[in-house]
Structure 1
Amino acid sequence: MATTTIPTSARDTELPRPLAKPFYIGPLLVDPPILQAPMAGFTNYAFRQIVREFGGAGLLATEMVNARGFVWMDEHEAEHPDRLWGVAAEPRPLAVQIWDNEPETLAKVGARLATEYQVSVVDINFGCPVRQVTQKAHSGSYLLRFPDRMGEIIERVVKACAPTPVTAKIRLGCSRDRINAIDVAQVVEGAGAAALTVHGRTAADMFSGEADWDLISAIKPHLKRIPLIGNGDLDSAAKVVAAFERYDVDGVMIARAALNKPWLYAQAAAAVRGEPIPADPTLAEQRELMIHHFELVRERFGDEKASVLMRKYACCYAQGRPGARDFRKHVATIKSPAAFYAVVENYFPV
């Protein structure tokens, strides 16, 4: 199957003025029309706070929350999942993504998020391709083969969360020979969802190959009322502008590229407004940003756990920088704040 990818030839500083406009998810205005993707293990409160400080994301999202685990913790009077760290008090708008395959469980958790946490959007994950979610839990992208089940889930969650809007995130299908995104999109809309996000790969693709934006765009004529958000391979302001110019989408969602460039949302937002694009922070500023990230994690988890957690975040910051391999080798062993600061001082480029 031919795949159309977003060109990288245009220089960010020479981007034409685009036509991207804010859009609504139910009553919520998403402005700018650029969303921060939920990413398990990464988009916690610390990451969201850093993105918020740079600006540019019209809607931020948590990591995906296991609905069944949330219910178990609730019933056993345990602390709610770490993936809800900061949600109750942080600024809005904010989406929380949940996953499971039981309509009742998802509806129960959605209702709690809408009422107790007062989140802006409840998003249902039908796109995660990892084995633990699909094969072991029969959730995420596994459910793409059962659109009727997806419709039942969405209807129950929409009813439980009202008036908080409910959205869905999907992939193109289970595999390249089983692409059913248009049929699934119509089910999602018919069940009452307020928006649809489509990642331009199939579940079988995982994260390999290139996202097919032609197939994402082909969904739009089949939606009557809800916005379509495209996701996949957006790693520069130029690509974001190209997505809006070339494809029939209302919004875009930036994911993995922002893990080592959390300022990308601000750059993309400036580009879609036709404004000068902010320069990347200097390496010295990026080092200070990484330390700021560590302090946010440390406040929540304490010295030892934060040091271990920071290993993967620090590796993201180093990606593509001079000496990244040597830095990753040393940061992978840190067990204390002192060790972290020493590795940053000695091995992170400036």
Structure 2
Amino acid sequence: MRSPRDERPRLSFSFFRWRETIAIPAAPLQIGDLVIDPPILQAPMAGFTNAAFRQIVRQFGGSGLLATEMVNARGFVWLDENEAEHPDRLWGVAEEARPLAVQIWDNDAETMAKVGRRLVDEYRVSVVDINFGCPVRQVTEKAHSGSYLLREPQRMFHIIHRLVKACNPTPVTAKIRLGCSPESINCNEIAKVVEEAGAAALTVHGRTAKDMFRGNADWERISEIKQHLRNIPLIGNGDLDSAEKVVAAFQNYNVDGVMIARACLGRPWLFSQAAAALKGDPVPPEPTLAEQRDVMLHHFRLVVDRFGEEKATVLMRKYACCYAQGKRGARHFRTHVARVSTAAEFHQVVDEHFPSEPIFSNSAAS
């Protein structure tokens, strides 16, 4: 059932100029008792998917489940024990519309269980997701968490099982990669472990940890995992940067849902495009560059409201680069926006250097 908070206004720009597409039925995704419709999820991304970004995605619509940045469970406990403010990555969660997932990471089952229960009791989250896919060295080699744990299936089982018990009845899900390296792909084995431990859904990024984000996601490998799951849904992730690719994922691969990640960072309207394509509705084309600029400035105002001008300006540099990506003059804009330190400087750089010519291919704009 939708709550009053879900009934928020959608951003309405003139770029909703329709074009025809073909209906591709995609059933709603069920995670425990939670129905995700459309079955298109926004990926948790550290440093990016904060409350301001999520608000913009919600205003455009099209994502059935949004997620926070990943939260360090051990760091959360430390802040709590020292009576410090809870992590910035939980900014907005308590008041935000649902459904909403919070992703956490660590390698200690009891720490994870403690944080998971807090998220359920105090933040009333819809889903608690476990990160077993992060390939960043600080998380893997230094903290022995994220994708590092793919080499320890029984430890993963214990973490998931303990968290499921602690969070009941809120569903617990897991996100993994294909394996630690191309030579040690074990996603089929891990999928069985995830389900047996009690997780309500499995998301798979179609690369190994060693691959980082190089090469192409292997959707054939993702699809093969489905036969190793008995009851829980499989969500595919990797390289989904257009409505057409989302439709193709459902057409060609045995997945129950899809997760959009990096491609949405400068294009939060991508979810609405993908959702329209799945329903067979006309797909909204890309906003004009002037409209994209307006979305970016709206995003900046939301960040300023939370963090103040100085911190918000620094945080907004990386988002601004995302909004410019794929456009002629993106490199020139990045060079200037990377140096701004005040709101006035940010607005000046946007006025003078944000791309104003038609969009070209990413390779031409890099």
Structures share fold, TM-score greater than 0.5: yes
Instruction: Extract unaligned runs of 5+ from structure 2.
Output: 1-17, 357-366
Equivalent in 215, 222, 233 of residue 209 of structure 1: 215
Q: What do the CA deviations read for 1:250-306 (whole angstroms, capped 9, x no partner)?
A: 000000000111100000000011110011111111111111000000011101110
Distance 1:45 1:321 in 2: 26
Written as runs of structure 1 = structure 2, the 5 A alignment for 1:216-255 is: 216-255=222-261
Q: Is the 8 A contact 1:15 1:238 kept in 2?
A: no
Q: Does 2:147 correspond to 1:147?
A: no
Measured against aligned partners, the alpha-carbon deviations of 1:167-193 in whole angstroms (never above 9, x if no partner) come to 000000011111110110000000000
Q: Please say if residues 24 and 247 of structure 2, whose CA atoms lie closer than 8 Å, have aligned partners that are also in contact.
A: yes
1:70 partnered with 2:76: yes
Cα distance, 1:18 vs structure 2: 1.1
Percent of residue pairs bearing the same amino acid type: 73
1:191 counterpart letter in structure 2: A
Q: Does 1:157 align with 2:151?
A: no
**Partner residue, 1:322:** 328
Name 1:118's counterpart in structure 2.
124
Determine the C-alpha separation between the residues in 2 that align with 1:276 and 1:199: 29
Q: In structure 1, what is the equivalent of residue 311 of structure 2?
A: 305
Aligned residue pairs, count: 339
Alpha-carbon deviations, 1:83-124, whole Å to 9, x = none?
Answer: 001001010000000000000000000000011000000000
- 1:265 has 2:264 as partner: no
Tell me the residue number matched to 1:200. Answer: 206
Tell me, yes or no, if the aligned pair for 2:99 and 2:125 is still in contact at 8 Å.
yes
Superposed CA RMSD in Å reads 1.0
Partner of 1:334: 340
Query: Per-residue deviation at 1:21?
Result: 1.0
Distance 1:325 1:176 in 2: 33
Q: How does 1:97-112 map to 2 (within 5 A)?
A: 97-112=103-118
Contact 1:19 1:245 (8 Å CA) reproduced: no
2:186 aligned with 1:170, yes or no? Answer: no
**Cα deviations across residues 192-221 of structure 1 (Å, max 9, x unaligned)?**
000000000001100001000010000101
TM-score, length of structure 1 as denominator length? 0.96
Q: Which amino acid aligns with 2:43?
A: A
Q: Which runs of 5+ in 1 are unaligned?
A: 1-11
Preserved contact between residue 21 and residue 281 of structure 2 (Cα < 8 Å) = no
Match of 1:286 in 2: 292
- In 2, Cα distance between equivalents of 1:269 and 1:315: 26
TM-score computed with the length of structure 2 as normaliser: 0.91
Aligned pair in 2 of structure 1 residues 317, 198: CA closer, same or farther (>3 Å)?
A: same
